[in-house]
Structure 1
Amino acid sequence: MSYCLYCHKSYSEAWSWEAMIGFKQSPLLCQDCEGRLVRIMGEICRMCGRDFSIFPEQYRQGDCCFDCIRWEGNDAWTGVLQQNRSLYVYNDFMKEMIAKLKYRGDAEVVKAFYPVLSSEFKKISRDAILVPIPLSEERHYERGFNQAELLARGLKKHTSNLLKRKNNEEKQSKKSRNDRLQKKENPFEFVDEIKVMGKKFVLVDDVYTTGSTIRYAAKVLLEAGATEVSSITLAR
């Protein structure tokens, strides 16, 4: 008998030879909770990882969505982000899970995503250094943890907290889409610039919305000499 990391109800695991001999990890969510998550699979935007199966045809061009075409069409942002890959669609249930993690302090729930996260990371770059998107000192103090660091921990790869967030930055979730896309001062700065030169990085965060947070962080790394920056997020 196991207990779901989200709803905490007990459930029986389906027996299989793979689980029995260790080829398959035991599920950490019950079947009901797992069934409410929507994995991003199949045809996606080659840059941001948007799921084209739930995206209107008129908002894409070939294998790229119009959002990414606009980013790449801006001289200041061309080539800043190599690619983003996200695990799940940001539906109502995923929104609830992330809220439980971030705002109600249930940090254990993040472990349910470690197997899928590790599998997706291998498709991006096995030799890159992980950089969690930082919280402001105030936000970190309020929560007691950084959800991006918890996600990165599940990859069991070298992680560096090379960036810090300027404390005058307004909370992103309180901004409209247009406000997020407005040109502004970069909200990130370095903790240690020396460790960046000539290396590849993968940024880790919980949600990719407009892509502005990821790109601002990537820009700081590239300007310091990083050769390539990609990102991986829990939801898109």
Structure 2
Amino acid sequence: MKIIPVVTQKGGVGKTTLSFNLAKAAADVLKLRTAVIDLDGQANVSMSLMGDESIKHCYTNGADELFGTGAFPEPHKTTHGIDLFHGHAQIDRIDHDDEINDRVVLTTELRDRLRKLPYDVIIVDTPPAIGLRHMAPLYWASKVVIPMIPDSDSLIGAADTVAALKIAANVNKGVKWVTVLNKIKKSSKSHKEAITFVRDEYRKELIAELGDRVPVADSRDNDMPQAVWQYRGSPGALRAEWLDFCKKVLA
């Protein structure tokens, strides 16, 4: 079983869209038993998968209850064929729980429990702020996806996330990571400079460069959210680009 969190310390880089598409590729294309853990208080991936904004205000049986010592919560069975452990507006209540923090940082007990869940792959969507919900998935992960956009704040956030991952690797031996450049504006001079830096700095880890395209946002922003490659408004090259990225991550 693989646990694949999408993590960085900067907001606005497209973590939720990446998480949603990775889960859809796992379930629809690779036919894997797939679950999503939503640790973001905005609950955007939960709302997309459930088609129901009220899930954000459902404060029981959520992803935060995965951190307990008793039985795991029952996941939501979504129409996408993806199980969901949902996020909600009060999920930050676990961030300052010292007992949970110790179970995450000092032992592999919680990671080992999660890896016994009946899935082939679990995608984890995370909040942008540093804290327990940001760090914990680094201790669980088989592979971490660190997205960035071509600006200085995002590059700093990505570097900080890599540093945090190296700390987690002292406990989570063998964890791998990749990075993706997202929301690239090809006509932007500053973006071109940032892309050159990322290609040099993360030559081995950079697996995709994804453009800032309207169909990417539109594919998830409708009554029945779809993966980029399933959306009728996506050009063929864009569909291939996103599907190739997802397959590389899930390989």
Q: Give TM-score, length-normalised by structure 1.
A: 0.34
Q: Which has the larger radius of gyration?
A: 1
**Which structure features the higher share of helix residues?**
2
